[in-house]
Amino acid sequence: MQGISFIRIIGVGIKSLRLHKLRTALTMLGMVIGVWAVITLVAIGEGASHDAQEEIKSLGARNVIIRSIKPPSMREQMQGDWESFFRRWMAIYGLKRTDASRIKDTVPGVTRVLPLMTKRMTAIHGPREIGCQLIGTYPYYPEFTQAQLVAGQFLNEAEENSKVSSCVISLELAQRLFAGHNPLMERIVVSGYESSQVFQVKGVLQERASIEKLAQLPDSVGQTIAANVYIPLSSFKALYGEKNVDRSVGHLKLEAVELSEIRVEFDSVDRVMPSLPLLSEALNAGRDERDFEIIVPIRELKALQKQKARDTRLLMYIACISLLVGGIGIMNIMLATVTERTQEIGVRRAMGATRGDITIQFLVETLILCLLGGGIGVVGGWGFAWVRHHLLHTTTIVTEWSVLVAFGLSVMVGLVFGLYPARRAALLDPIDALRHA
């Protein structure tokens, strides 16, 4: 065996594989699909979890969001007595400014609180009318939510106090309402049930990610939509007061909600979870019904990471099984090949081939199958991920470990499942192999 160049052995292997092209192709297909599936599945899972994590991070891992929510008693069917009727007709509930200040004062580690008022309105500019959300808030809204100012400026302290009718609009609203024109210094009408108000656009803000995709209760007041008009909280209060007339369901209903949302910022991520009980306590004081929900991005992030670890493990199992199936396919083919080629093995042994020569030859053949199949699988998986990521714009991330594991396993499977038939062939006595019909 010494002295036979490896290149020649590979040449012999390729010649044998080419003799049975269809069989070779089918065997490789098993390997290709196995490797391709592993890489693709992991890449899709990785992409989805990356997206979700980014979204939650954009809500701020140091933040907690508290939203007003209609309490159960006001959601119940009419019972007939006047009190419950009144409670449903004129619903007063939700977060108050005193809640915001109590949180700031009593919960340790809170650096800032950001109160928000929201209201469904229609934004009108020229012939265009677009449903929007009017948000009354403080000037530090952008840094708090990590939103980015793309044009003009955000609301400032002066406006907060002077009640000048300026507003900032979200990028999406700007695109839909102005369709390519520069919205700065333009006037828009924000119209609702009670009144219409003219605002001058002084800035365009791009929200970093929408909160919409986070789990929300159906009656949450602070539902975020992408078309937003931001005005100072003081203007909001002056213009609309605290009552919210909801006609959307088709029947007149009065609601009074002081604040739709309070965002709380802690000084560090580690502070968030331990402070939650205190936060609840501060909110529960002076309430007999729970009329708010608490959204904790860091908790969701952690849950997501745990989920991701589970998913990854599941994918690994699938990967192993698919590669195992591919490997059994290879072993099956190799066994059939060896049986069919026993006479050839006998001839080669008669011509001076040692057991080692025969083993190596069959091993090289399986390895070629696996390397080629694995290689095509890697290229295929990568290509699929590239197309999905760049052409279909769905986040797909190929991880190195998945490529290594898939390829490594395919080669290992080839070695293991190729070795048995190869060894079986080599151990035959030359005369027995030759006599094989």
Partner 1 sequence: MAKHSIIQIKDLKKVYDLGAFKVQALKGLNFDIEEGSYTAIMGPSGSGKSTLLNILGCLDRPSSGAYILGDDDVAHMDDKELSGVRGSRIGFIFQSYNLIQQLNVVENIHVPLFYQGKDISDHYDHCVKLAEKVGLADRLDHRPMQLSGGQQQRVAVARSLVNEPLMLLADEPTGNLDSSTEQEILDILDELHGEGRTLVIVTHDDAVAERAERVIHLKDGLVDQDIRKGAAKAVAK
Kindly state the smallest distance separating residue 11's Cβ from partner 1, in Å. 9
Interface residue with partner 1 among 142, 357, 373, 381 (CB under 8 A) is 357
Instruction: Output the smallest distance, CB 4 to partner 1, in A.
Output: 5
Would you state the structure tokens that stand for residue 245, as one six-digit string?
A: 């007339």
Q: Is 358 exposed, middle or buried (0-12, 13-18, 19+ CB in 10 A)?
A: buried
User: Of 258, 261, 245, 283, whose CA–CA distance to 211 is shortest?
Assistant: 261
Q: Which residue has the tokens 């011509």?
A: 351
Distances (CA, A) of 221 to 251, 256, 352: 18, 11, 86
Residue 267 binds partner 1, judged by CB under 8 A: no
State the nearest-atom distance from the C-beta of 356 to partner 1, in Å.
8
Using CB under 8 A as the binding rule, whether residue 18 contacts partner 1 is answered as yes
Using CB under 8 A as the binding rule, whether residue 5 contacts partner 1 is answered as yes
**Helix or strand (DSSP H, E) at 26:** helix 21-58
For residues 208-237, which are near partner 1 according to CB under 8 A? none
Nearer to partner 1 (CB atom), residue 42 or residue 345? 345
Closest to partner 1 by CB, 4 or 245: 4
Contact with partner 1 (CB under 8 A) among 215, 250, 352, 391: 352
Going by the DSSP 8-state scheme, the letter that residue 340 receives in this structure is: H
Positions 80 through 139 that interact with partner 1 (CB under 8 A)? none
Near partner 1 by CB under 8 A: residue from 147, 348, 414, 428 = 348
Is 308 among the residues that bind partner 1 (CB under 8 A)? no
**Which single residue is written with the structure tokens 């209760």?**
217
22 binds partner 1 (CB under 8 A): no
365 is a site residue for partner 1 (CB under 8 A): no
CA atoms of 389 and 395, how far apart (whole Å): 5
Q: Would you say 265 or 357 has its CB closer to partner 1? A: 357
β pairing state of 187-191 and 196-206? antiparallel
| Min separation Cβ 357 and partner 1, Å | 6
Measure CA 15 to chain center: 48
Question: At its nearest, how many Å lie between partner 1 and the CB of residue 27?
Answer: 17
Distance of alpha carbon 157 from alpha carbon 141, whole angstroms: 12
The rounded distance, in Å, linking the Cα atoms of 30 and 42 is 18
Binding site for partner 1 (CB under 8 A): 1-5, 8, 12, 15-16, 18-19, 343-344, 346-357, 429-431, 434
